[in-house]
Amino acid sequence: MSQQPQPFSSASLYVGDLAPDVTEANLFEVFNQAGPVASIRVCKDAITRRSLGYAYVNFHTVADAERAIEQLNSARIKGRPCRVMFSQRDPALRKSGKGNIFIKSLDKSIDHQALHDTFAQFGEILSCKVEMDEKNESKGYGYIQFKTQEAADMAVAKVNGMMLGDKKVYVGPFIPRKDRQGENSQRKFTNIYIKNIDKNLDEKALTEVFAAFGQIQSCVIMKDQEGKSKGFAFINFDKAEDAERAANEMNGKELNGQTIYVGRAQKKAERESELRQKFEQLKLERQTKYQGVNLYIKHLDEDVDDDKLRSLFAPYGSITSARVMKDTKGGGKGFGFVCFSTAEEATKAVTEMNGKIVGSKPLYVSLAQRKDIRRATLEAQFAQRAKMQQRMPPMPYGPTGAPMFYPQPGIVYSPQMVAPRGRFAPPAPFPGQMVGGPNYMMMPGGGRGGVKNGRGGGMMMPKQPRQQPGGPMKGGAPPPMGGVPQPMAGGVPMPVGVPAGGPAAVDPAVIMQAGGVVPSNLIPLHADLLNQLPPEEQKRLVGERLYLLIAKVEDKLCGKITGMLLESCTNEELLYLIDNNAALHEKIEEAIKVLREHEKSQV
């Protein structure tokens, strides 16, 4: 004797099939009609905080909850009918599948309530659902969960094959998807799919060919809008054995001079699932095969093609493939891939070729990575930098909203260097105006070693400290008028790149070509100069130059982008970015995309 199910003692309801914009306030207005509501919670995604389409409504009494199910099940909330049932705290009943049935071939006019009323005569229904599309129209199938398995069995026996509306429906036990997928390859079928057939072949001729295997119910050749054959067809047999024999014997045979494919007819979702599994398997095999032997090379000159790329790396081992990526016009994109036979050869090529100047640029060579891995690496670097910035004190800002400029004693600056860029830029300084700090001012005229201002002909000069009576000047001796930095008594070091014996020989044209962002007495950055400096000084020097260039393109995120590039690129790459405006813009766009995606993931 089967055990009778216990009545519900909980006043908690599950409300499903909700529109994404339904809130707790909307649900309170609806369910408060059935009785006083204790609490409501719309379930949301933990990361995106978007509604998952269902909620829990708690009443004070079971009677109010039962009344809510009776009155509000299938009620429309923001234009979409909801599904209301008692909340099942124990997932064992849901996972067991007991009492679940599946109905298909439903008439479009049958909704949740009509389906519920049709099957309610067989027993108590816990859940009833008709699947809807994005237009809120029936997909032609649905699900019902009875409280007992006996009620479900009776519904299958009585309704299967009956007419509901204008259609004969199928009613059977619900089979989980994982079990259905496992049976696909072994289940019986009567409908077969034929492709690659001669487009001059008609349905009568195709029926005559396949009639040898058994009685045929229907034969349809798919056609386009003009009535011409698409080259594939479907044939439905009376018996599954005949369909299976036709598929086995006719697959790969020639029909009117063309080799045809014959197999079991599959639904679109099933075909896509199989293709997806095959693609993932091939992708995994390819990644395993080329792991550690495929190299990524960038900063290639435009004239480098596949053959030249292969010749560059040929001395390091046997190359299985070498390819330079092309754009839509056939020009090189500046990067490519080289695949070696062994990991040892690939490692040797990375060691020898990374940073080597080929043509006009230093190459960047590393093991190739998938796009998702590269993206994850950049995001991890950004997250680590964000944590470090949280521990640092905020950068002081001036009255215009731009970061404060702190000049180094002993360096002559051009007005273009001191003035902020973009929306923070103040009016141009006039001769004699204090710029950047109390110790610097605009001086008229040119002066030895200085760079003339294009507007006023002035230059930045250190303000002379006052002479103390009876002693040396406070703060040490000033630098000479020519702007040559000298070691000071206060222990202030000389700027990097300036010879101790005199001013740096810098052509003003170099400064103007760089957009006024290079100090007038600093030698342009290059690898030999950086190699003579400590690592911290290298990063500082390159970072300052890079920051000013990035600020001209993206002033709001220039600090974060600079930090990302300093952490992810070598000195050779950074120097290349400083000299190559197009490559820098490409890096900036890539960094902005990473930052935007990181911000979305934090919402």
Q: pLDDT of 267-290, one tens digit each?
A: 877 788 788 888 877 777 776 667
Paired tokens of 353? 């070729």
CB atoms within 10 A of CB 455: 12
The mean pLDDT of 380-397, rounded to a whole number, is: 63
41 pLDDT band (50/70/90 cuts)?
A: very high
432 is a domain residue: no
Is 508 a residue whose pLDDT tops 90? no
Of the candidates 500, 505, 517, 560, the residue with the CA atom closest to the CA atom of residue 405: 517
44 is a domain residue: yes
**In terms of domains, do 21 and 167 share one?**
yes
**In terms of domains, do 202 and 95 share one?**
no
**In terms of domains, do 174 and 196 share one?**
no
**In terms of domains, do 57 and 113 share one?**
yes
Any bridge partners for residue 332, and if so which? 326
**In terms of domains, do 92 and 179 share one?**
yes
Is 2 a residue whose pLDDT tops 50? no
Q: What is the pLDDT of residue 92?
A: 64
**In terms of domains, do 247 and 147 share one?**
no
**In terms of domains, do 226 and 306 share one?**
no
408 is a domain residue: no
**In terms of domains, do 219 and 350 share one?**
no
Q: What is the CATH number of the domain that holds 232?
A: 3.30.70.330
pLDDT winner (highest mean) among 233-237, 474-478, 544-548: 233-237
469 is a domain residue: no
Q: What is the pLDDT of residue 393?
A: 56
Region of poorest pLDDT, from 112-116, 139-143, 315-319: 112-116
**Residue 110 near residue 130, CB atoms below 8 Å:** yes
- The pLDDT tens digits for 174-231 are 887 666 654 444 567 889 999 999 888 888 899 999 999 999 988 999 988 888 899 9
Is 260 a residue whose pLDDT tops 90? yes
The mean pLDDT of 346-363, rounded to a whole number, is: 87
Q: Which of 336, 368, 400 corresponds to the end of one domain? A: 368
Q: Which of 141, 157, 183 corresponds to the end of one domain? A: 183
pLDDT winner (highest mean) among 222-231, 500-509, 579-588: 222-231
419 pLDDT band (50/70/90 cuts)?
A: very low
Burial of 37 (0-12, 13-18, 19+ CB in 10 A): buried
Range of the domain at 362: 292-368
**In terms of domains, do 36 and 173 share one?**
yes
298 is a domain residue: yes
Q: What is the pLDDT of residue 73?
A: 83
Q: How far apart are CA 276 and CA 263, in angstroms?
A: 19
Q: What is the pLDDT of residue 541?
A: 81
pTM here is 0.35
User: Whole-number mean pLDDT of the chain?
Assistant: 75
**In terms of domains, do 265 and 314 share one?**
no
> Which three-class secondary structure state does DSSP give residue 144?
strand
Q: How far apart are CA 411 and CA 134, in angstroms?
A: 67
CB atoms within 10 A of CB 290: 17
Q: What is the pLDDT of residue 90?
A: 64
Is 544 a residue whose pLDDT tops 60? yes
**In terms of domains, do 250 and 131 share one?**
no
Total domains in the fold of the chain: 3
- The pLDDT tens digits for 286-302 are 766 677 788 999 889 88
Is 603 a residue whose pLDDT tops 70? no
588 is a domain residue: no
427 is a domain residue: no
**In terms of domains, do 28 and 162 share one?**
yes
390 pLDDT band (50/70/90 cuts)?
A: low
Q: Which of 156, 183, 210 corresponds to the end of one domain? A: 183
